[in-house]
Amino acid sequence: MATVLELTSYPVKGCAGVPLSDALLTEAGLRHDRSFMVIGEDGECRTQRRDPRLAVIRPAIDLDGTRLTLSAPGEGEVAIDIDTTSARREVQVFHNPFLGIDQGDDAATWLSQALGAPSRLVRVPPEHDRVTEGWIPGTCGYADSGAVHLVSRASLDGLNQRIDEAGGTALPMNRFRPGIVLGGWDEPHREDRIRRIAIGGAELGFAKLTGRCVVTTVDQSKGVKAGPEPLRTLAGYRRGPDGATLFGCQFSVTRAGKLAVGDEVDVIEWDGPPPGE
């Protein structure tokens, strides 16, 4: 039986994750996930592709969801009241247009100093109504393409075995920045075959396999690019029909609800016959 090993929310797109013992899974993903985004002067999102130092910026949201604190090594911290009512401005996620609410000059000044480039912080407006594509469509905040990124520990173990056999160093799960990590399976990439799944009080539906990019080469503890892995090894055995390097899956939330580390996983529907335990 598979269970939930880890839950992680990423309140600010591209920044460090917040480990959770339990969480509300909303239609847009784990509560607060990718509800904020750092943008440049042109309104385009900043990501670890070009700004790997985002990885060491740690967000924290108060329990009542009204105050956000950002901190980073050597930069101190800044705390702001979260603004959900001010004027909307145009923003972009990989050239796809959305709206955002600017979170003010204090956050902008701090981020610009921390990243060494003019930056501002925006939040998803309450009326945000994004539709994400996939086998089962859904919605999300400023995530690249879906509400929940799910990976099994067995998939990482299989990858690390290949890296080790090639003389490399095993990588931590945070290189892939998943929201939900499952344990209890021995077969790598079994999650690829899930079509509908129930965890705690929530249900999710498969959207698509996750194509990986250069962000997976960023050392999340240091905020620097750290070599060709895991892309080099994944490219040897995890290529999709379009040439994309694959690891993990994107899921849409079909029923919101609470979930927690340790919850058992009920796969409601597989692609093909259920695998043997």
Q: What is the pLDDT of residues 30-73, one digit of tens each?
A: 999 999 999 999 999 999 999 999 999 999 999 899 999 999 99
Q: Is the pTM of this model over 0.75?
A: yes
Contact in structure between 92 and 43 (CB atoms under 8 Å): yes
| Distance from C-alpha of 184 to C-alpha of 264, rounded to nearest angstrom | 10
For the chain, give the mean pLDDT. 97
Predicted pLDDT of residue 187: 97
| Distance from C-alpha of 134 to C-alpha of 262, rounded to nearest angstrom | 28
274: three-class secondary structure by DSSP: coil
The tokens for 164 are 């080790």
Name beta bridge partners: 239: 245
Predicted pLDDT of residue 275: 83
Predicted pLDDT of residue 277: 59
| Distance from C-alpha of 14 to C-alpha of 238, rounded to nearest angstrom | 24
The tokens for 82 are 């979260």
pLDDT at position 231 over 90: yes
| Distance from C-alpha of 138 to C-alpha of 130, rounded to nearest angstrom | 8
